[in-house]
Amino acid sequence: MAKKIMLSGDRPTGKLHIGHYVGSLRGRYAIQEEGKYESFIMIADQQALTDNARNPEKIRKSLLEVTMDYLAVGIDPAKTTIFVQSQIPELNELTMHYLNLVTVARLERNPTIKEEIKLRGFSESIPAGFLIYPVSQTADITAFKAELIPVGEDQLPMIEQTREIVRSFNNTYGSILVEPQAKIPEDACKRLPGIDGKAKMSKSLGNAIYLADSADTIKEKVMQMYTDPDHIKVSDPGKIAGNTVFTYLDAFGKDKEYIAELKLQYQKGGLGDVKVKRYLNEVLQAEFAPIRERREKLANNKDYLYQVLQEGSRKAEAIAAKTLTEVRAAIGLNYFD
């Protein structure tokens, strides 16, 4: 019996951050090690271009950064196929076929797209490619007949839209495509806020702690983190909800009992922000020092990184080509077979 497929990915718009780590990378690593699924990870460079068309150099540079992040957290090219979206032209043709099955109104209703349009200040000048990127994600997922998609919460509307397109395709042309299932992490990790307390840590918002950050940078960022603005004196009672430092402790801390104690004390009053931040700093340093060290070693080996991506992309293209042949036949575009 062939294994079921896991597919996940990231936009190469910068280095990956600790939000990616708890929201998705850590889960992908666990799935890889468990070995129940065959793992694919895609670097979505074409998707990244949908809102960076005039800055291709950023995407090109970030490709290797993201690759280093993967290998540093333990993604192993011998176990997981890492590939580059733009190197699989079959995905574009799949996108074109699926675009006919979705309305512009439905795309405009996608809550993630709506939020991202606001964040990026597109208002009326939305690049058409950006609006349709959920359809291109559908192509990515279905090309591999992926069943499991480990993602952060912001991606749930994307998976829902994919499922709709799959159903529509299968009803129209015959059951070729597989409906995927999203897998989101536990609550504290679904959508890690930025150090500024904003809803989401994001490469594009400048509020991230990166996997590549030095020990000093991590410490600095922790010390400037958003807490409870009404907690002014140490003796003041403080709030836990919406307090970024505690959200991070929930996401990264292993000593849950100690964290529960800290929370009680903070709520009662008498525990200062600096003390909690020092503890969070220790937790983060312990988790990310080994990852940073592995990453530093990879940075000198560009050829190896490109080789991993090229081999992965070759393997991925063979699979996507097979699905595209099936899709063409299902629609009836196989005139000369």
Residue list 20-49, contact with ligand ATP (CB under 6 A)? 20, 23-24
Residue from 201, 211, 222, 309 binding ligand ATP (CB under 6 A): 201
Strand locations in the chain (E): 4-10, 37-43, 80-84, 148-150, 181-183
Q: Which two tokens stand for residue 229?
A: 């603005």
Q: How many residues bind ligand ATP (CB under 6 A)?
A: 18
**What is the layout of strands, in order, in the sheet containing 37-43?**
80-84, 37-43, 4-10, 148-150, 181-183
Nearer to ligand ATP, 24 or 323 (CB): 24
Q: Based on CB atoms, which residue is closest to ligand ATP, 113 or 166? A: 113
Q: Which is nearer to ligand ATP, 201 or 271 (CB)?
A: 201
Q: Which residue stretch of 57-65, 197-205, 289-297, 327-335 sits at the interface with ligand ATP (rule: CB under 6 A)?
A: 197-205
Cβ(29)–Cβ(70) below 8 Å = no
157 or 238: CB nearest ligand ATP:
157
Is residue 204 within the footprint of ligand ATP (CB under 6 A)? yes
User: Which residue stretch of 151-159, 242-250, 288-296, 320-328 sits at the interface with ligand ATP (rule: CB under 6 A)?
Assistant: 151-159
Residue 73 to residue 294: CA distance in whole angstroms: 8
Counting DSSP H helices and E strands in the chain, the numbers are 16, 5
Among 154, 213, 273, 317, binds ligand ATP (CB under 6 A): 154
In the complex with ligand ATP, which residue's Cβ is closer, 23 or 74?
23
Instruction: Give the Cβ contact number of residue 174 at 10 Å.
Output: 12
Termini Cα distance of the chain: 29
Q: How far apart are CA 337 and CA 331, in angstroms?
A: 13
Residues lying near ligand ATP in the complex (CB under 6 A) are found at 10-11, 13, 19-20, 23-24, 151-152, 154-155, 191-192, 200-204
